[in-house]
A and B are shown apart, each in its own frame.
Chain A
Amino acid sequence: MIYLSFLLLGLGAGAVYAALGTSLVVVYRSSGVINFATGAIASYTAYTYATLRSDGKYFLPIPWLPKFISLGNPMSLWPAMLIALATAGLIGLAMYWIVFKWLINALPLAKIVASLGVMIVLQSLVGLRFGTESLPVGPIMPAGVLSHGDLRLPKDRLYLAVTVVGIAVLLWLFFRFTRFGLQTRAAADSERGAMMVGISPHRIASLNWTLGAVVTGLSGILIAPIVPLTPGGYTLFIVPALAAALVGRLTSLGPTVITGLLIGALQSEITKFQTFSWFPKSGIGDAVPFVLIILVLFLRGKAIPQRGMSFVASLPHSPRPRAVLPTAGVGFVALVIASFLLHHQYRAGLMTSMSAALIAMSYVVVVGYVGQISLAQLSLAGASAFMCSRFTTDWHVPFPISVLCSALVAVVVGVIIGLPALRIRGVNLAIITLGAGVALQSAWFNNNQLNGGVSGAKVSNPSLFGLNLGVGSGHAYPRVQFAIMLAVFVALVGMAVASLRRSRLGSQMLAVRVNDRAAAAGGINVPMIKLTTFAIAAFIAGIAGSLMAYQSGNVSGASFDVFLSLSLFALVYLSGITSITGALLAAVFFPGGIFYVVLSNWVDPGGYFDMFTGLALIDAAIRNPQGFAGRLQELGRFVGRKLDERKMRALPPPGPEGSGTGGTSPGPDPLTKEALAPS
């Protein structure tokens, strides 16, 4: 009976997952966006509600304006909820009109990146206003406990679950029986078809985005008395919500709601199991959504139906690197010179950027070359970093074998995470790998039994042939020797990734990226290529992770946080995920990297750095949905065309007979003309 009680206790959290999942479905159907900011909207709305209730103040999001405007005395439940929900609706509407309207025909990846940008902005806004403290919120649902024999169930959980199920049923009826619902379903099937029959895609999207945000906001408000309200605390709800929505294939509300409730119940049940000595003390609950999505998607093997977009864009061209050795040589020398020239925090910033460059290159391999969206590369680095601590302190493995061993562990984990890629593509895979990252983070990096506990996961100093390569401490930090060692790794890995693109394997990877069925038809062993890719990318990320471990001396889970991972992914994507240039560019702008250090010394960005990163991501996603490097390529082609045209103009004007051979003039093909000339 106690087990059943725990299951039912999870209905509260489950209801929130279900509500957020519902909102994800509503938004995805109307505009093809997987809104990663859903959890952040819940959090934002809950804060708005909480401050209205406690002080009667309305929370203003715009920096440099007053933080709050006072609306008089503390408000009662209904007006506060109404204002908060209206705010949520406005956020949803604004998200569509300011951001996603411009991305209608963009790659799904560009939409993901933009929604990550919105998530970062919303989260940092709340963080800037409320710091890290949690805000108490009074009960909304009736208190008390229902009991039947041994079975006990808090009433608020039950009412919350019933409310969410009720909302889902209402939404279902709305989409089933109203004209607007019919139009939304039509647009989800074929956006072009919808336009052809006179349906405005903006109207459909506007209302659905508003609706989705209101449902999200409501669940945020309702859960606030049950789960403590902290900035960023609700943002992670997105992972179980995504799992639920994925089971509903991002199109059906029923399975989404049921799965959401189920995940909550299972997680709660696991807290019961944690009382047993044999059961891991933390982390397993967060792994539930991940395991569940894998099971469901893998067993079902069906992908999310591709939403009927007007046009389908593709990843930008991946340029074939030329002069690999000289370029790597020059780059290495430049990094070494920079390491000597820069001091103190600048050198540390350079080091962080160099490690980030390695992880970014692992993204180039797995996403840029093979088109498999993995969001877990930083988490793989984390796995390697914690292993590096084990290898060096517990087993006394010397450098650089320690790096190699830890990277190999990352390979094992990476290949396991990559396994679903054999059956699942695109955005689904992105969600699975994100789930994997969260699972790693909570089951390993933040698990006191595995992460070194209070004393932390220490890493011994690296040295090679008696030469101290350590990063140093106190005044010696950061030593130039460590920076040079990082530069060696960056140059070597850069060369390897460039050569990979030029190799036969690289060509096969690109073939898989374009179309894996066509690649298979062309005789390429697609599963083998995919797993090899995940292995190579994990190895690179693993190297980065253990180097980061050596740099910090004491590995902390915070360095490999899932949200940091998402920011890095977004940065790499927008810098140009198909080329090494793009990876290096992303590394420069990585939080804590060289740009951050320079900026914070020049103007103090304070807490605003995150917000500006988010805004920059959104802006870049709208302007360059193909990534910055893609834009450069386009520019190159444009210049090339102009040069060609100039060359053509410089030539003597062609006679009427020669018009078919040159330039853009499409006169009759001389060959056909000759072949078909009447005899």
Chain B
Amino acid sequence: MTDIVLRVDHLNGGYAGHTVLRDLSFELRAGEILALLGPNGAGKTTTLMTVAGFLPAISGSVEMLGHPTRKNSPHQLARLGLGYVPDDRALFRSLTVRENLKVAKHGGGTLELALEYFPELRKRLDITAGSLSGGEQQMLVIARALVSRPKILMIDELSMGLAPAIVAKVLPVLRRISDDMKTAIVLVEQHVQQALTIADHAIVLVHGDVRVSAPGDVLRRDPTQLERAYLGQSVDPELTQHAQTQDTQTQDAKTQDAQEVPA
């Protein structure tokens, strides 16, 4: 498994000169699911917006399918094979479901492909996206991102405003997509435990810093470590190892904090 589709290297991101995200590095392989976790204001959405080209990176680099993306605008990245589902959905509300899917089709994609994963939408093809229910809208945005067979799919706050039952239904679909199409998925999620059921790897961001970076099943087995990370307490050094190795250049006080042995 050396087919790295997304490489984020010492990325700093933020708004109008204010750094929100510090020194994030990770690699994502085809067919892998990465859960990006953390409390509100941790920098998760900033990460996705920066990777998708909607925010210029302050420093560091992003490499997508071997191309450095610094100079690319969002639509070029989309054409390169990036699907992005933002937290506000950004649907074409006055267009019908069919048109929403059709307009997103480029390259060799088909509507069938997307509808296969979300058969619920099949009955709704000719009504406008604005009149769908919240759950259906969320499915439509993911379906819209799938039509063009993205190599990488980034989903921000999948569960926002959705009934838990729907979330429980959509998450396994993501796993299937990733397995079938070898799509790499970055999942930003508030429902940590649910996200970890499908994630291969998880990164916990707190205040813009990587606090935990560990395989999904490890965190699933030991949820207390996650709680500690969320609360800003020190965590098992094992789990920060990945974060540390990326952090060789900076020796901030906060990394020292993270390594501190529990009192």
Q: Which of A199, A201, A668 counts the most chain B CB atoms within 10 A?
A: A668
Docked-complex contact A672 and B231, CB < 8 angstroms: yes
Of the candidates B86, B93, B207, B231, the one whose C-beta lies within 8 Å of that of A196 is: B86
Docked-complex contact B75 and A200, CB < 8 angstroms: yes
Q: A198-B79, A198-B148, A199-B75 are in contact. Are A185 and B253 (CB under 8 A)?
A: no
Bound-complex Cα distance A291 to B153 (A): 51
Bound-complex Cα distance A310 to B54 (A): 9
Q: Quick check: is A644 within 8 A (CB to CB) of the other chain?
A: no
Number of B interface residues, CB 8 Å?
Answer: 42
**Binding-face segment, B97-105, B116-124, B179-187:** B97-105
Docked-complex contact A198 and B253, CB < 8 angstroms: no
Bound-complex Cα distance A664 to B14 (A): 13
Of the candidates B144, B254, B263, the one whose C-beta lies within 8 Å of that of A677 is: B263
Docked-complex contact B253 and A659, CB < 8 angstroms: yes
A193-210 contacts to B, CB under 8 A, are 193-201
Of the candidates A190, A308, A656, the one whose C-beta lies within 8 Å of that of B257 is: A656
Residues of chain B within 8 A of A666, CB atoms compared: 207-209, 254
Bound-complex Cα distance A665 to B257 (A): 12
Docked-complex contact A198 and B75, CB < 8 angstroms: yes
Bound-complex Cα distance A182 to B252 (A): 50
Docked-complex contact B103 and A668, CB < 8 angstroms: no
Contact with A along B205-218 (1 / 0, CB 8 A): 00111000000000
Q: Closest approach, in angstroms, between the C-beta of B73 and any C-beta of chain A? A: 7
Docked-complex contact A667 and B253, CB < 8 angstroms: yes
Q: Which of B90, B102, B263 counts the most chain A CB atoms within 10 A?
A: B90
Contact with B along A179-222 (1 / 0, CB 8 A): 10011011001101111111111000000000000000000000
Docked-complex contact A185 and B94, CB < 8 angstroms: yes
Query: Which residue of B has the minimal Cβ distance to A185?
Result: B95
Docked-complex contact B75 and A182, CB < 8 angstroms: no
Q: Quick check: is A654 within 8 A (CB to CB) of the other chain?
A: yes
Q: Quick check: is B233 within 8 A (CB to CB) of the other chain?
A: yes
Q: Quick check: is B26 within 8 A (CB to CB) of the other chain?
A: no
Q: Quick check: is A394 within 8 A (CB to CB) of the other chain?
A: no
Bound-complex Cα distance A308 to B86 (A): 14
Q: Closest approach, in angstroms, between the C-beta of A581 and any C-beta of chain B? A: 23
Residues of chain B within 8 A of A672, CB atoms compared: 231-232
Contact with B along A647-679 (1 / 0, CB 8 A): 000000010100100001111110011001110
Q: Closest approach, in angstroms, between the C-beta of A271 and any C-beta of chain B? A: 40
**Size class of the A contact interface (CB-based, 8 Å):** 20 to 34
Residues of chain A within 8 A of B79, CB atoms compared: 198
Docked-complex contact A186 and B78, CB < 8 angstroms: no
Contact with B along A365-404 (1 / 0, CB 8 A): 0000000000000000000000000000000000000000
A282-323 contacts to B, CB under 8 A, are 308, 310
Residues of chain A within 8 A of B52, CB atoms compared: 196
Of the candidates B94, B106, B148, B257, the one whose C-beta lies within 8 Å of that of A189 is: B94
Residues of chain A within 8 A of B253, CB atoms compared: 654, 656, 659, 665, 667
Docked-complex contact A195 and B232, CB < 8 angstroms: no
Q: Closest approach, in angstroms, between the C-beta of A402 and any C-beta of chain B? A: 50
Contact with A along B180-208 (1 / 0, CB 8 A): 00000000000000000000000000011
Q: Closest approach, in angstroms, between the C-beta of B116 and any C-beta of chain A? A: 19
Bound-complex Cα distance A638 to B92 (A): 38
Docked-complex contact A199 and B90, CB < 8 angstroms: no
Q: A672-B231, A678-B262 are in contact. Are A186 and B95 (CB under 8 A)?
A: yes
Docked-complex contact A182 and B257, CB < 8 angstroms: no
Bound-complex Cα distance A61 to B84 (A): 45
Q: Quick check: is B133 within 8 A (CB to CB) of the other chain?
A: no
Bound-complex Cα distance A665 to B258 (A): 13
Docked-complex contact B103 and A182, CB < 8 angstroms: yes
Docked-complex contact B106 and A186, CB < 8 angstroms: no
Docked-complex contact A190 and B232, CB < 8 angstroms: no
Docked-complex contact B78 and A667, CB < 8 angstroms: no
Q: Quick check: is B59 within 8 A (CB to CB) of the other chain?
A: no
Q: Quick check: is B19 within 8 A (CB to CB) of the other chain?
A: yes
The 6 tightest CB contacts between A and B, nearest first, are: A193-B90, A668-B232, A197-B104, A666-B207, A198-B78, A659-B253
Taking A183-B103, A190-B92, A668-B232 as given, write out 7 further A-B residue pairs in contact, using a Cβ cutoff of 8 Å, ordered by the A residue number: A192-B74, A195-B75, A196-B83, A197-B103, A310-B54, A666-B209, A667-B253
Name B residues whose Cβ lies closer than 8 Å to a Cβ of A: 17, 19, 52, 54, 73-76, 78-79, 83-84, 86, 89-95, 99-100, 102-104, 106, 144-145, 148, 207-209, 231-233, 252-254, 256-257, 262-263
A-B contact pairs, 23 of them (CB 8 A): A185-B94, A189-B92, A190-B90, A190-B92, A192-B74, A193-B90, A194-B103, A195-B74, A195-B78, A196-B52, A196-B78, A196-B86, A197-B78, A198-B75, A198-B78, A200-B76, A201-B75, A656-B257, A659-B254, A666-B254, A672-B232, A676-B231, A677-B263
